[in-house]
Amino acid sequence: MRFAIVGAGRMSREIEAVATSQGHPVVWRLGSAENPHGQGLTAERLAAADVVFEFTTPGAAVENLLRLAAAGARTVCGTTGWARDLPAVTEAFAAGPGALVHAANFSVGVRHFFDLATRAARLYSRAGYASYLVEEHHAEKRDAPSGTARTIASLVEMTSGRPLPITSVRAGTIPGTHRLVFESPEDEIEIIHRARSRAGFARGAVWAAERIAGRSGEVFEFGELLSELEKEGP
């Protein structure tokens, strides 16, 4: 498969490395200077790629996604901070021949963390434990809390019926750490996901790209693709 990448950050470079190692050539990559308001997403460029990765910034993502939808591109989006525009983006992809996979986090380990967080919230809220979340990322990450942290908070709050306080740290080169804590006067329980590198996120994104090749008019959250796989069995 031929891949293209919109974005020139660390995740984009990691995706290119993983894709190339798995035999998928990256035929082009666009940085922000080459793609103001999505104008670099020309028909000629998009025709050269089977799947396009969109890993940019919250301010650029929606314009890029709407242009990709209009062009019928199969797209994997890992940009966060644009959830309020998801209905419009979903409608645009559903109306055309393209397809979209979006996620705040493409790590399979994080997806299982979500399941653990939901179960832990059910158990410990009933036992009277208080809970909070600390998330840490590199200094260049713009959104805070992270999209992953917001997802964890939503799951815990829906299960426990109580708001989940979140503390965000932006420092150094931290790939990503999420620490969910349940505490009482007597003891404390922590569930931690600590990314050792961005490779796990990139592998999940490349797998998602392989999964949506040839699909039309469909929009998936990454977890929905994983659920499809589970239903297919071994």
Question: What positions carry a catalytic annotation?
Answer: 137, 141
Cα–Cα separations (whole angstroms), residue 189 to 58, 84, 153, 166, 184: 34, 33, 16, 16, 9
Q: Which of 119, 73, 133, 78 is nearest to 98 (CA)?
A: 73
Cβ neighbours around 19 below 10 Å, total: 24
Quick one: DSSP state of residue 32? G
3-state helix, strand, coil in the chain (%, to 5): 45, 20, 30
Q: How far is CA 176 from the centre of its chain?
A: 13
3-state secondary structure of 75: strand
Quick one: DSSP state of residue 162? S
For 134, the token pair is 């600390």
